[in-house]
């Protein structure tokens, strides 16, 4: 059951990161806060449900996750997201399973790590990798898990 919630959480978090890349140049702090809040709310609700929480516990997890996610989203700027996206592509393409690849934005001080955790080949011949991403902002660590498959052009597409 936890795997089901994990699979539901991954697309929400990764879509939030990808959509955040569409941030406007007018500062966009409201966009980052909203996206972080939505991702955090989804994560909090799903984690509470996965832990077997009651409806009240799930609601509390959703609210708390939304608040924390909004704070994190507000602080992850476009340069941070670029570092994360580039590092993810690089780690998926070149890093052995279990080997972490780190990034650091010298301007914000935010850091992260991307680590492939499993590599496999589908029956169709397509190579896929499961991975873990960790982003640390002012000592607060946020983790996400996903699966990406290698596209014919050599890029990696996140599939869940």
78: confidence class by pLDDT, cuts 50, 70, 90: confident
Closest CA to 79 of 114, 109, 115, 38: 109
Tell me, yes or no, if the pTM score tops 0.85: no
Query: For helices 2-20 and 29-50, what crossing angle results, to 10°?
Result: 180
pLDDT at 25 over 60: no
Which of the two residues, 45 and 104, has the higher pLDDT score? 104
pLDDT (mean) for 1-16: 45
Q: What does the pLDDT average to over 48-58? A: 56
pLDDT at 138: 86
Mean pLDDT of all residues in 59-84: 66
């Amino acid at each position: 059951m936890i795997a089901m919630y994990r699979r539901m959480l991954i697309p929400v978090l990764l879509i939030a990161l990808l959509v955040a890349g569409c941030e406007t140049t007018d500062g966009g702090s409201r966009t980052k806060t909203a996206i972080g809040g939505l991702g955090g709310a989804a994560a909090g609700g799903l984690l509470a449900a996965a832990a077997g929480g009651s409806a009240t516990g799930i609601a509390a997890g959703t609210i708390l996750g939304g608040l924390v996610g909004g704070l994190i989203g507000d602080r992850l700027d476009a340069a941070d997201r670029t570092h994360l996206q580039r590092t993810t592509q690089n780690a998926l393409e070149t890093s052995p399973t279990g080997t972490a690849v780190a990034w650091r934005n010298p301007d914000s001080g935010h850091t992260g790590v991307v680590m492939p955790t499993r590599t496999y080949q589908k029956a169709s011949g397509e190579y896929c990798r499961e991975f873990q991403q960790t982003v640390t902002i002012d000592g607060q660590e946020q983790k996400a898990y996903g699966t990406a498959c290698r596209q014919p052009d050599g890029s990696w597409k996140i599939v869940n």
